[in-house]
A and B are shown apart, each in its own frame.
Chain A
Amino acid sequence: MNRFSLPLGIFVTMVALLAVGLTLNPREIPSPFIGKPAPEFLLPALDENASQISNETFKGKVWVLNVWASWCVACRQEHPLLMDVANRKLVTIVGLNYKDKRSDALEWLQRHGDPYRHIPFDEAGNVAIDYGVYGVPETFVIDKAGIVRLKHIGPVTLEDLKNTILPLVSELERIES
């Protein structure tokens, strides 16, 4: 064995570990929900005249749960994309309104458009805690059986939609429940 091979081996290993470490995003915490049933909720709708919403409402459907708030700046960034998805009827988007004021939320939707099929109103943020939400916006993809398949933290980008979210949705749509 060459006497340099050991130090060199250690050096290469360290560089490899650090290189991988640099490409990871420390803000992205792996969700413990992937592959598990979406937590159940029962919430009033943002629209006071609408009936209560629970995740039973979406059983047998592939749906996207988007956690948003009118005070959330990053939500504005992804909003046009969500509008586009909704206009092209690519998937049902449910917008969990997180720790917001009813009037603020409604006004925000009026100004920026409403891509949501249903809007559960989570004033206290308890349902968000059940979903392990720690930074809005967050987006979950939930399959026909009510299993969480994907969690996206932070604003959704066009690349995320094209490369991950929409392909996953169409794949899940094909599976018979």
Chain B
Amino acid sequence: MNIGCQKPLLITIVLFFSVITSPFGHGQQEIFTFSTAKQETTYQALIKELRCLVCQNQNLADSNAGLAQDLRRKTYEMVIAGETRSQIAQYMVNRYGDFVLYRPQVNRSTFILWFSPFIFLVLLISLAFHFIRKTRKRSQSSDYSEEQLAHIKSLMQDKR
């Protein structure tokens, strides 16, 4: 392969990586300043945890939607005002419902969401045990009576 052939490939690769690492790929454009590092980590954690409701399956940190910008600003204002992470999360849940959190709180409506995997796991394990025991029992029990078995044994010995 000569150089002329490799060049377009190289350009393609460079372009590809420049797109996926480009700063425009990230929704967060506004620059907020925090007075303490703790406030900033709270803010960053929250915008990763909160769902953008317009563009579902994106969090506030990744989304460029107008609502995401507004909610980021709201989060920022509340962080600056000294509210805790759980207070801000509760504020959002009160307005947008449990769905706004990527890890919704455990309550009556989210109970199935949280625990159904464990319920299914227990169910499947008990089913598996049930079947294993059943097949084992079947392989242990015999279809022949003692007498018949003795007869079979004698027949086999005769053959030898």
**What is A's interface to B at a CB cutoff of 8 Å?**
6, 26-27, 29-32, 99, 124-126, 129-132, 134-135
Task: Kindly list chain B residues whose C-beta atoms are within 8 Å of the C-beta of A135.
Answer: 53-54
For residue B70, CB closer than 8 A to chain A, the reply is yes
Task: Kindly list chain A residues whose C-beta atoms are within 8 Å of the C-beta of B99.
Answer: 29-30
A27, A30, A32: the one contacting B95 at CB < 8 Å is A32
Known: A99-B66, A129-B71, A134-B67. A29 touches B54 (CB 8 A): no
Task: Kindly list chain B residues whose C-beta atoms are within 8 Å of the C-beta of A131.
Answer: 95
Give A158 Cβ to nearest chain B Cβ, in Å. Answer: 26
Which 9 residue pairs across A and B have the least CB separation, nearest first? A134-B53, A132-B95, A32-B97, A132-B96, A29-B99, A125-B70, A134-B67, A134-B54, A29-B97
For residue B86, CB closer than 8 A to chain A, the reply is no
Task: Kindly list chain B residues whose C-beta atoms are within 8 Å of the C-beta of A6.
Answer: 127
Interface contacts beyond A30-B99, A131-B95, A132-B95: sample of 17 additional A-B pairs, CB < 8 Å, sorted by A: A26-B56, A29-B97, A32-B93, A32-B94, A32-B95, A32-B96, A99-B66, A124-B70, A125-B67, A125-B70, A126-B74, A129-B70, A129-B71, A129-B95, A134-B53, A134-B67, A135-B53
Give A67 Cβ to nearest chain B Cβ, in Å. Answer: 12
Give A100 Cβ to nearest chain B Cβ, in Å. Answer: 12
Of A26, A27, A124, A125, most B-chain CB atoms within 10 Å = A125
Q: How far is the CA of A31 from the CA of B97 in the complex (A)?
A: 6
Chain B, interface size category, equals 10 to 19
Give A3 Cβ to nearest chain B Cβ, in Å. Answer: 10
Contact between chains at A130 and B54 (CB < 8 Å): no
Interface string of B45-79 (1 = CB under 8 A from A): 00000000110100000000011001100100000
Task: Kindly list chain A residues whose C-beta atoms are within 8 Å of the C-beta of B94.
Answer: 32
Contact between chains at B67 and A132 (CB < 8 Å): no
Can you list 28 residue pairs at the A/B interface with Cβ under 8 Å?
Answer: A6-B127, A26-B56, A27-B56, A29-B97, A29-B99, A30-B97, A30-B99, A32-B93, A32-B94, A32-B95, A32-B97, A99-B66, A124-B70, A125-B66, A125-B67, A125-B70, A129-B70, A129-B74, A130-B95, A131-B95, A132-B95, A132-B96, A132-B97, A134-B53, A134-B67, A134-B96, A135-B53, A135-B54
Q: How far is the CA of A27 from the CA of B52 in the complex (A)?
A: 12
CB-CB nearest in chain A for B99: A29
CB-CB nearest in chain B for A133: B67
Give B59 Cβ to nearest chain A Cβ, in Å. Answer: 14
Task: Kindly list chain A residues whose C-beta atoms are within 8 Å of the C-beta of B96.
Answer: 29, 32, 132, 134
